[in-house]
Amino acid sequence: MDKIIIDGGKKLNGDVHISGAKNAALPIMVSALLTPGVSTFHNIPDLVDIKTIKKLLRNLGVKIEGESTVKVNTENINNCEAPYDLVKTMRASVLVLGPLVARMGVARVSLPGGCAIGARPVNLHIKALQDLGAEVELKDGYVDAKAKRLKGTTIYFDISTVTGTENIMMAACLAEGTTLLKNAAKEPEVVNLADVLNAMGAKIIGAGTDIIRIDGVDQLHPIEASVIPDRIEAGTFMIAAGITGGDVRILGCEPSHLDALILKLRDAGMEITIIDGGIRATTRKKIKSVDIKTLPYPGFPTDLQAQIMALMSVANGLSVIAETVFENRFMHVSELMRMGADILIHGNSAMVKGIPKLKGAQVMATDLRASASLILAGLAAEGKTELSRVYHIDRGYQEIEKKFSALGADIKRVSG
Ligand code: EPU
């Protein structure tokens, strides 16, 4: 298994280019299931999760070609099952449920099971599909769903759910009549998907607000579209500039998707400037502690919680970081503590007392964003950090060690 080795303490300087957003690319590639024909998607990141969704779509009979530009041919769907093997490695596989029922009238999708960051049930996806008139049975660990044609209705999500909103928004495009999604997720990835669906001929208004209206249509047509830049990757590089005392231009990102982080980093004493083509992140002073509470968008993203915790672990003062989206997303804490961080977990909050310097250590990645946090900690630490189980990072960051090394970090991947 590969490892990442970092010799910490180098200030990062220079330009980094942000890849397409994993969490937008996944639903957008799946959305092609709603149309018969060839759709073309640009700015697809080169990630393990993208390989997994390709495998899943191919398993349904979809033909796929290309890497950063992907052609998805959905003419012949000959299987409506998402098997356990694929769903357990990537929960976003559940996104095929809504589109398959809407276009094919039937779907069999494995229940994802537990996950390192929380229980993450899909009950809200299932309930909403039932509200649209699908017959759903849970049997042998699978969701079996069928419907002659889904019927538009009003759906209320108890919790704002990103993939739940995406799944049902896709399904409702081909339903008969109007669907209203209330307490819908407002993430930019939901908006990107709605734009793609509208280009396919769907009638969606309100994406980006908590009420989305979808007027069902009889059929959609293939299109050519682009994926938005990855705001979590961009945020990770902004924090990297902060933790190493560097000066980094983060190019190709969308600053308006990053307001919560930008304002927090400014409060922490960083200089964050919106420049032509992206963001410049610099640090001239010692980082000050700030408190963080993760929330659905436009709140502070849970997907940046682990990374900002690494920054807070070397800030001046005490920071309280509350995780309200997932119930178990503190797996990085004990690893950061192996590097000397002073962190106390109490319920869903972590009290982080800043220390002057982290020390390199052998650490283990437990999930995607935890891995990013440990890499950031390693970049700032004194001495050598060895990160194992780096397959987690390859799920969501394209060539992360190459991007950091181009900024001056001493980082390499070794196999074995
Ligand atoms: N939830 C339920 N029932 C449901 C659905 C969600 O209880 O049926 C709960 C979850 O357990 C969680 C909360 O609702 O406590 C919000 O979860 P959400 O459904 O929004 O998460 P998701 O759609 O499974 C997406 C991203 C995650 C990101 C979250 C929150 C994708 C493919 N994944 O997951 O990304 O953390 O939204 O923003 O879009 C990552 O990229 O590292 C990652 C985990």
- Ligand 1 centroid–CA 374 distance in Å is 22
Smallest CA separation from ligand 1 atom 43, residue: 303
- 171 contact partners, CB below 8 Å, separation of at least 6: 97, 98, 99, 101, 102, 129, 132, 150
Closest CA to 4 of 355, 392, 396: 392
CA 124, 129, 135, 140 dihedral sign is negative
Give the pLDDT of residue 268.
Answer: 98
Structural tokens at position 21 = 């957003």
115 is catalytic: yes
Give the pLDDT of residue 361.
Answer: 97
Which of 120, 227, 330, 368 has most ligand 1 atoms within 8 Å of CB, for mutation? 120
Q: What is the mean pLDDT of residues 342-356?
A: 97
Q: What is the mean pLDDT of residues 292-303?
A: 98
Give the pLDDT of residue 263.
Answer: 98
Q: Is the CB of 124 under 6 A from ligand 1?
A: yes
- Ligand 1 centroid–CA 300 distance in Å is 14
Q: CA separation (Å) from 353 to 173, 306, 342?
A: 49, 15, 5
- Alpha-carbon Rg of the chain, whole angstroms? 21
Q: Convert the pLDDT of each residue in 237-295 to its tens digit.
A: 999 999 999 999 999 999 999 999 999 999 999 999 999 999 999 999 999 999 999 99
83 upstream amide cis, omega within 30 of 0? no
Q: What is the pTM of this model?
A: 0.98
373 confidence band (pLDDT: 50, 70, 90): very high
Q: Give kind and range of the element (H or E) at residue 143.
A: strand 142-146
Smallest CA separation from ligand 1 atom 9, residue: 120
Q: Is the CB of 164 under 6 A from ligand 1?
A: yes
Closest CA to 367 of 387, 349, 385, 382: 387
Closest CA to 280 of 262, 307, 300: 262
Closest CA to 120 of 69, 62, 164, 65: 164
Give the pLDDT of residue 116.
Answer: 75
Q: Give kind and range of the element (H or E) at residue 127.
A: helix 123-131
In three-state secondary structure terms, 281 is: strand
Which of 19, 22, 23 has most ligand 1 atoms within 8 Å of CB, for mutation? 23
Task: Say whether pLDDT at 129 is over 90.
Answer: yes
112 confidence band (pLDDT: 50, 70, 90): confident
Task: Say whether pLDDT at 118 is over 90.
Answer: no
Give the pLDDT of residue 103.
Answer: 97
Give the pLDDT of residue 364.
Answer: 93
Smallest CA separation from ligand 1 atom 20, residue: 161
Q: Convert the pLDDT of each residue in 375-415 to its tens digit.
A: 999 999 999 999 999 989 999 999 999 999 999 999 999 98
121 confidence band (pLDDT: 50, 70, 90): confident
Give the pLDDT of residue 4.
Answer: 97
Smallest CA separation from ligand 1 atom 16, residue: 161
- Ligand 1 centroid–CA 347 distance in Å is 20
Strand order across the 349-353 sheet: 292-293, 318-322, 349-353, 342-346
Give the pLDDT of residue 120.
Answer: 80
Give the pLDDT of residue 416.
Answer: 72
The residue whose two tokens read 């099952």 is 81
Say if residues 142 and 111 touch (Cβ distance below 8 Å): yes
Give the pLDDT of residue 114.
Answer: 66
Q: What is the mean pLDDT of residues 78-94?
A: 93
Please tell me the total number of residues recorded for the chain in this structure.
416
- Ligand 1 centroid–CA 302 distance in Å is 9
CA 112, 116, 121, 124 dihedral sign is negative
Give the pLDDT of residue 229.
Answer: 98
Give the pLDDT of residue 175.
Answer: 98
Task: Say whether pLDDT at 115 is over 80.
Answer: no
Q: What integer best gives the mean pLDDT of the chain?
A: 96
- Ligand 1 centroid–CA 161 distance in Å is 6
Task: Say whether pLDDT at 370 is over 80.
Answer: yes
Say if residues 72 and 66 touch (Cβ distance below 8 Å): no
- Report strand pairing: 135-139 vs 142-146: antiparallel
Which of 161, 303, 305 has most ligand 1 atoms within 8 Å of CB, for mutation? 161
φ, ψ dihedrals at 247, nearest 5°: -145, 100
Angle between helix 231-244 and 368-380 (nearest 10): 20
Active-site hit among 80, 115, 173, 253? 115
Q: Convert the pLDDT of each residue in 213-237 to its tens digit.
A: 999 999 999 999 999 999 999 999 9
